[in-house]
């Protein structure tokens, strides 16, 4: 309905390290609502890579943010892209992808790519819209998060965004597991969340 607000951008960009020269990857930057915030937090430090599949948006971002390395490619190709840029892992991955609108296979392969490149002490953040929480695709993505990371914490609702949104903070990527093990973990996570919050995922 509208570009992501500065308040939402600040929440999503929380894992950007305050010191050092981190590698920060941004997925689906779109019009750059989060890109500008990440650049502010980095203040000229580190490396900021942004993966945008739309060539027009990628070209616009490259013009607006000359310090950001814009990669016109699919987010699911993240391990290859990071390696081609000369980096072994990312300290933070920030996503603006519309997960609830992606099909199950794309959700799984893209999230697996994030898990594979994230440093052991790194963090992954993404957001969802409050009104879409109960969509089957959104619940499926939440279960996938739980099976991909040991810690997944939903942040407070950002009412100042249009529409209102909330942020998922994920840490400690799990080792790669067999599909049946992932399904079991996803079911367990969904049951725990439902028991503690009354929300069904």
- What's the pLDDT tens digit per position in 82-122? 999 999 999 999 999 989 889 999 999 999 999 999 999 99
Percentage with pLDDT > 90 across the chain: 69
Distance (Å, whole) CA 112 – CA 148: 7
How much is the pLDDT for 157? 87
Cβ count within 10 A of residue 145? 24
- Residue among 125, 68, 67, 52 at smallest CA distance from 91: 125
Indicate if the pLDDT at residue 129 is higher than 60: yes
How much is the pLDDT for 201? 47
Average predicted confidence (pLDDT) for the chain? 88
Please name every residue paired with 50 in a beta bridge, in sequence order, or none if there are none. Answer: 26, 70
- Residue among 30, 24, 29, 73 at smallest CA distance from 47: 24
Q: Which residue has the higher pLDDT, 35 or 193?
A: 35
- Residue among 192, 174, 118 at smallest CA distance from 126: 118
Q: Which residue has the higher pLDDT, 176 or 171?
A: 171
Beta strands 118-129 and 165-173 are antiparallel
DSSP helix/strand/coil, 21: coil
């Amino acid at each position: 309905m509208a570009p992501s607000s500065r308040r939402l951008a600040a929440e999503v960009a929380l894992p950007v390290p305050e010191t050092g020269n981190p590698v920060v990857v941004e997925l689906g930057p779109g019009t750059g609502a989060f890109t500008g915030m990440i650049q502010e937090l980095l203040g000229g430090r580190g490396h900021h890579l942004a993966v945008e599949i739309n060539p027009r948006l990628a070209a616009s971002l490259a013009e607006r943010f000359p310090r950001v390395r814009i990669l016109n490619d699919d987010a699911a190709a993240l391990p290859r892209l990071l390696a081609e840029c000369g980096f072994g892992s990312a300290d933070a991955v920030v996503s603006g992808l519309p997960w609830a609108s992606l099909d199950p296979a794309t959700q799984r392969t893209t999230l697996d790519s994030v898990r594979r490149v994230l440093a052991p002490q790194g963090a992954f953040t993404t957001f969802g819209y409050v009104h879409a929480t109960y969509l089957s695709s959104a619940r499926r993505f939440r279960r996938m998060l739980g099976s991909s990371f040991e810690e997944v914490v939903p942040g407070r609702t950002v009412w100042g965004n249009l529409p209102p949104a909330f942020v998922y903070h994920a840490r400690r990527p799990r080792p790669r597991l067999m599909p049946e093990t992932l399904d079991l973990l996803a079911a367990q996570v969904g049951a725990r969340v439902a028991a503690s919050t009354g929300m069904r995922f």
